[in-house]
Structure 1
Amino acid sequence: MIYYAIGLIVLILDQLTKWIIVQQMHIGESIEIIPHFLYITSARNTGAAWSILEGQMWFFYLVTVVVLAIVIFYMQKYGRHRPFLGVALGLVIGGTLGNFIDRLFRGSVVDFIHVFLGNYSYPVFNVADSSLVIGAILIVIFTLFDQKKVNAHEQ
């Protein structure tokens, strides 16, 4: 199914970029791409976003299995019949698996995309994180528009 292929493409891109970072850069090393805005910075994270729940790997393993089960269920039941939702769920699957593989085999997640917004240094992230965020936003958009369709049919 095409939507699982999207997840696989995200997973491959995520793992390839992380492998390059691990092979080519030392932790803490940074390469300026766009001055004062975008850098490639080699970092590791043993927690979730903004390093919350740092070191709680058992928790992340459990959450990952539960999330994947729920997302695959929704993919099978709804996503394969609704392209917008299918793409969103595929992005979530790819991102979830990308960070799960890091935690499982490296003991931490490899992060490398570092953005500065003015004086604010946004937490370093990766392709999997981006995929998860985009997928989640698309799910919210789908849910809002789908609910509007349901409400319109009821009137």
Structure 2
Amino acid sequence: MDIKNRLFWVAAFVGVVLDQITKQWIVRTFELTESRPIWDGVFHFTYVTNTGAAFSLFSESGTWLRWLSLLVSVGLVLLAWVGPAMNRWEQAGYGFILAGALGNGIDRFFAGEVVDFLDFRLIRFPVFNLADVFINVGIVCLLIAAFHKPPQAKANSR
């Protein structure tokens, strides 16, 4: 059976599973606000929660963020399912964005907050999670897709 946009589905599935497994491990292993150095002063696992979006933006807006993540997820599933066949970069990009939207959306719907734990202290970056990483990786993949056109597309655009 040939599945259209197979890489999209694989990236989304693997991403959601990894995101949820790591968050569950943190919740079961750490106390809230507990931090353990992996590389002291550089990278720690720090268990915090976030009711907002990236970097705690819109912290008081948890309800609409739930619905936004659901809307984005449904839109991406429809794009991959009924939309055109995508190139590999587009499939990976949209699949990783779906993984991030679903991963954080699951947290928002079931707990009302998102579990964050990746803490890069060396650069004083806000604590985040794998879903956030997947969204950013997806954006990079889509940027590559936008600038990397197949040879026939370049020839046709002249």
If the length of structure 1 is used for normalisation, what is the TM-score? 0.88
Change (3 A) 1:101 1:18: same
- Corresponding residue for 1:123? 126
1:60 aligned onto 2:65: yes
Greater shift, 68-77 or 25-34, is seen at 68-77
Counterpart amino acid of residue 115 in structure 1:
F
Cα offset for 1:59? Answer: 1.3
Counterpart amino acid of residue 125 in structure 1:
F
Counterpart amino acid of residue 131 in structure 2:
A
Whole-Å Cα distance in 1 between the matches of residues 32 and 150 of structure 2? 45
Whole-Å Cα distance in 1 between the matches of residues 98 and 148 of structure 2? 22
- Corresponding residue for 1:94? 99
1:146 aligned onto 2:149: yes
Which residue, out of 46, 51, 60, partners 2:56?
A: 51
Cα offset for 1:9? Answer: 1.2
Partner of 2:9: helix, strand, or coil? Answer: helix
- Corresponding residue for 2:27? 22
- Corresponding residue for 1:114? 119
- Corresponding residue for 1:73? 78
* RMSD (Å) for aligned C-alpha atoms: 2.0
Whole-Å Cα distance in 2 between the matches of residues 42 and 116 of structure 1? 14
Counterpart amino acid of residue 82 in structure 1:
N
Whole-Å Cα distance in 2 between the matches of residues 97 and 44 of structure 1? 17
| Cα deviations by residue, 1:13-51 (Å, 9 ceiling, x for unpaired) | 111111111111011111111122110000100000110
CA contact (8 A) 2:89 2:144 kept: no
- Corresponding residue for 2:16? 11
- Corresponding residue for 1:137? 140
Partner of 1:125: helix, strand, or coil? Answer: coil
Change (3 A) 1:123 1:148: farther
The gaps in structure 1 that reach 5 residues or longer are none
Greater shift, 3-12 or 108-117, is seen at 3-12
Give aligned pairs, total: 152
Cα offset for 1:121? Answer: 1.3
The gaps in structure 2 that reach 5 residues or longer are none
Going by fraction, where is helix more abundant, 1 or 2? Answer: 1
Counterpart amino acid of residue 110 in structure 1:
V
Whole-Å Cα distance in 1 between the matches of residues 79 and 150 of structure 2? 16
